[in-house]
Amino acid sequence: MIELRTPAEIEEMRPAGRFVAEVLTRVSSEAAVGVNLLELDALAHDMIRDRGAVSSYIDYHPSFGAMPFGKVLCTSVNDAVLHGLPHNYRLRDGDLVSLDFAAAVDGWVADSAVSVIVGKKRPEDVRLIEVTTRALEAGIAAATSGAKVGDISAAISAVATAAGYSINTDFGGHGVGRTMHGDPHIPNDGRAGRGYPLRPGLVIAIEPWFLQSTDEIVTDKDGWTLRSTDGSRGAHMEHTIAITEDGPIILTARA
C-alpha cells in the first residue's frame, strides 16, 4: 500500500534522516586502510544505541536473505555492490566500499547509502562513483509533484547508459515510512511518463547502483552479499526524499 505523509509527518521524519546521514558521514570517514568491516558495523551500532534509535537491518529477513541480517550496516566491498554482510575483513589500499544504512528514530525510518574509495583511487572507480552520484541527483531532480515514477527511472538510466553502464532492475528504490521497504518500487530503468504518479507527501528512497562491466549479480555464500558475476566493481548511492509542492526534500542530506 502506498501512503502519503502530511507536512507535519514529513517534519517528524527529519530527525531520522539527519541521524542516518550522521552515521554514514562518520562511518565513511572511518573507512581506512586496515580498518575491519566489523569495526565499522560496531561503530554504527554504538551510534544507534547512543541515539536511542532502532536498526532497520539487524532482524531484517526478506525472502531473498538466507537468514536475519544480524548486523546494522551493509558493507559491500569491490565486486560486492548490495547487501554486503559485515565480516572479518580489513580494508586494503584501493578498496571501493559501499556503505548502506537504515534506522528508525521515533518510529520513522530513513535509508541512505554512499560509496567511497579507501586509499589510492583508481580512475575507473572514481568515474563509477561520479556517474552513480550524478544518476542519483538526476533521479531526485525528476521527483517532482505531477511526475511519474518512470520519470525518476528514466532520469537515472539516461545517466548510466550515457556513461556506458548497463542496469539491473532486480533491486532499486522504494517507499519509506514506518518501515524500511514499502511501495512504490522505484526501478533504475524505465520509461518517462509511466508508472505511479508522484504526489506531495510521498516519501521514497532513490538508489542507483551500477557495476563497471555487467548488470548481472550473484548471491555470495554468506546468503546476503550481492556480487557482480564477472568480478567488476560496483557503486551504490541512495537518499530518502520527500516529494512536496515545492520540490523534493532530501531528508538524508549529508553535511
pLDDT values of the chain reduced to their tens digit, one per residue, 255 residues: 899 999 999 999 999 999 999 999 999 999 999 999 999 999 999 999 999 999 999 999 999 899 999 999 999 999 999 999 999 999 999 999 999 999 999 999 999 999 999 999 999 999 999 999 999 999 999 999 999 999 999 999 999 999 999 999 999 999 999 999 999 999 999 999 999 999 999 999 999 999 999 999 999 999 999 999 999 999 999 999 999 999 999 999 998
Domains of the chain by residue range: 7-250
Q: Which CATH superfamily is domain 7-250 in?
A: Creatinase/methionine aminopeptidase superfamily (3.90.230.10)
Is 22 labelled a binding residue? no
Q: How far is CA 22 from each of CA 130, 166, 188, 196, 240, rounded to the nearest angstrom?
A: 21, 31, 26, 31, 14
Is 216 labelled a binding residue? no
Is 45 labelled a binding residue? no
Residue 197, preceding peptide bond in cis (omega within 30° of 0): no
Is 207 labelled a binding residue? yes
Is 100 labelled a binding residue? yes
Is 83 labelled a binding residue? yes
